[in-house]
Structure 1
Amino acid sequence: MKFFSLIFNQYQITNCRLIVWIVLFSIFFVFQNLFAESIQERFPPPNEFKRETYVNNSFAAYLQNFPLKPKGSVVSLYNGKLKTNQVHVAVLDFPLLKVDLIQCADAIIKLRAEYFYSLKQYNKIHFKISNGMNVKFSRFIKGERVQVNGNQTHWKKGKFTQGKGRDVFEEYLKFIYIYAGTISLKSELKKKSIGELKPGDIWIEAGSPGHAVLVVDKVTGKGGQTLFLLAQSYMPSQEMHILKSESKYSPWFEVPKDETFPTPEWEFPTKEIYEFTN
C-alpha cells in the first residue's frame, strides 16, 4: 500500500507541475500578445522623415497599428513548414488556416474584413467572388449560405448557423478564400494616382497566378519625398509579412519612377495601384 501511495503522490506532484507550466505558458502568451509591437512601433521613420497620421478607426490607422510577431520570427507556410524565400523583416500576427487557402489576395481580404469586424460594421463586409457575385457577410449572419454549382451561384436558406459570432465570420471568410482571388479583388477596387498613396492601397496584377501587395505604412520627408512599407502573403498559403526593399531606406520603399515596380517576389506595372471603394 505504501508503494502505491508513493506512486499516487508522485503522480499528483507531476500533474501539479504540468498545470503550473500550462498556466505560466498561457500567461506568457496573453502578455506577449497584449504588448506585441505594432508596425509603426517596430519601424520608426528614417531620419528627416515623419510618419503620416490618419483618422482613428480608419483602415490606414488600423494597418499602422497592426500587431507583429516577435522580432526574428520566420515566415511559416500553412502546413508548418518554413517559407523557402525569406524576404521579410517582420511577420504580421494573424493565424493561417491549416489548408492552402490564404494567399496574397486572400490575406488582404482578411485584413479588410477583420478591420470592419473589429468595428462591428458588419454590413461593410462583402467581397466579390470569381463569377462576379457580391457575397455579403450580413446574409451569413441571417443564416443564409451560397450554393455553388460550377460557375453558377445562388443564396440558399437552411438550418445554418446564424449570428455575428466568430464561428460564422470564419465560415464566411473561408468561403471567400475558396472562391475569390486577384481577379475578383481587382474588380472591386478603383485605380488611383500614385501621388495619393496611403496605407490600404494595393499594387495588384490580376491573373492565374497574379499577385497583390498591400501598403501598410507611409512616411514623408521635408522635400515631399514619400516612403512606404509593403506587406504580402504569397503562394502557397503563408503568413503575411513586411517585405525588405532594395532602397537605401530599407525596409521602406521609395515611390517607383520607372514603368515597373520590382518587389522581392513580383514585378508590378507601376501604374497598377488601386484602393478599396468602400
Structure 2
Amino acid sequence: MMKTTYTITFLLATFLLSCTGKTNGQIQQPTEKPSTVEQTTMGNQQRLAPPPGYEKVKLTEGTFGYFLRHLPLKPVGSDLHYYNGSIKRKNYTGAVVDIDFGHGEVEQCADAVIFLRALWLWRTKQYDKIHFNFTNGFRADYIRWAKGERIHIDKRTWRCSYSKDTGPDYSYKTFRKYLNLVFTYAGTASLEKELANVTGKELQVGDVIINGGHPGHTVIIVDKAVNKKGEAVYLLAQGYTPAQEIEIFNQWFCIDPQVKYLETPNWYFRGNYAKHF
C-alpha cells in the first residue's frame, strides 16, 4: 500500500532568464533553502513555483501530464536516499518524490521513467498500453502478466517466452512484480528505441529526455510554464545509478530540442535527445 503523502513547494527567489539564443539547460539554482518559518507558512499544498513572469500551462485532469505535476512529495528539506537507505544528499533542496520507487537496486534512471508511465496507465486501467521491451528486444506485456502468464528467461541463450502459470490478478502487488522484471532487463538503450522523436521546438509534460546506451541516462518533464512571449521552461525529474529515490530538480530548464545539447546537473545530453511516448 502506498504511503500517505504530501505536495509541497519551494519559493524560488531570483531567476536569471536566458531562454533565447543558444542557451540550453539550467536557468537558475535557488540561493538558499526556505527557512523553517517559511516551510510552516507554505504548508504542503503547492509545487515548485515557476520563475517570475511565467505561469504553469493548463493540464487536463486525468492525463499523464496532470499525474506528473501532482506527484506526491516528501516534506521540504527531506534527505535524498539511495536504494539501500544511505543518504545521497542531506536536506535536499530539490523535491523528493514520495512514491514506491527507489528502494531496489535495479530501480535506476530508465526505470524511474518506466515506473511513472506504467503507474499512471495502471491507475487509469489502460492495462493493454503497459508494455516495455527488454534490451534483447523481447516485448513484456503487462496485460498478459495480469491474466496469469509469466515470462521465462533462458539464461544461456537469453531467449524469453510466456507460459500460463497462474490465474488473473490485476493487483498492485502483481503489477509491481511485473515492473521489477522489466527493471532488471530493460534500460536506456531499450527505452530510447521505444520512444518517438519530438520534431518541433515545443515539449510537453511527460516528454522524455534520453541518451540511450551503456551507460546512458534519462530524465522526464514533470511540469511546464510559459511567459507572455510564449517562451517555455520545464521541471525535470530523474532516477539515477546507483538506484535512488526519484528527485525533481529545484530549477527550471530552457529546452530547445533543435539545439543538440542539453546540460542537466548529472548528464550532458547530445543529439536527438527529446522523445515522447
Task: Check whether TM > 0.5.
Answer: yes
Match status 1:68 vs 2:68 = no
Instruction: Return the alpha-carbon distance in structure 2 between the equivalents of residues 65 and 82 of structure 1.
Output: 25
Deviation at 1:207, TM superposition (A): 0.6
Instruction: Report what 1:99 is aligned to.
Output: 104
Which has the higher Rg, Structure 1 or Structure 2?
1
The structure-2 alpha-carbon separation of the partners of 1:172 and 1:127, relative to structure 1 and needing over 3 Å to count, comes to: same
Whether the 8 Å CA contact 1:88–1:241 is kept in 2: the answer is: no
Deviation per residue, 1:145-200 (Å, 9 max, x gap): 11101321111222x35310112101101110001100111111000135220111
Q: Which residue of 2 aligns with 1:253?
A: 253
TM-score, with length taken from structure 2: 0.80
What root-mean-square deviation, in Å, do the aligned CA atoms of Structure 1 and Structure 2 show?
A: 2.3
2:215 and 2:169 map into 1 onto residues whose CA distance is: 35
Change (3 A) 1:264 1:97: closer
Aligned residues: 239
Distance in structure 2 (CA, Å) of the matches to 1:83 and 1:58: 32
Q: Give TM-score scaled by structure 1 length.
A: 0.79
**Compared CA separation, residues 242 and 88, structure 1 to 2 (3 A):** farther
Aligned-residue identity in percent: 36
Q: Which amino acid aligns with 1:59?
A: F
Residue 114 of structure 2 is matched in structure 1 by 109
Higher relative contact order (CA 8 A, sep 6+): 2
Residue 272 of structure 2 corresponds to residue 271 of structure 1: yes
Q: Which amino acid aligns with 1:83?
A: K
**Structure 1 residue ranges without an equivalent (≥5):** 1-28, 245-250
Ranges in structure 2 where 5+ consecutive residues have no aligned partner: 11-44
SS of corresponding position for 2:173:
helix
List 4+ stretches of structure 1 deviating above 6 A. Answer: none
Partner of 2:161: 154
Q: How does 1:29-48 map to 2 (within 5 A)?
A: 33=5, 35-37=6-8, 41-48=46-53
Question: What is the aligned partner in structure 2 of residue 186 from structure 1?
Answer: 192
Q: Is the 8 A contact 2:8 2:76 kept in 1?
A: no
Task: Indicate if the aligned counterparts of 1:38 and 1:64 stay in contact, CA closer than 8 A.
Answer: no
Preserved contact between residue 194 and residue 271 of structure 1 (Cα < 8 Å): no
Q: Work out the CA distance in 1 between the residues paired with 2:240 and 2:78.
A: 17
* Structure with the higher fraction of residues in helix conformation: 1
Code of the residue aligned with 2:140 in structure 1: it is: V
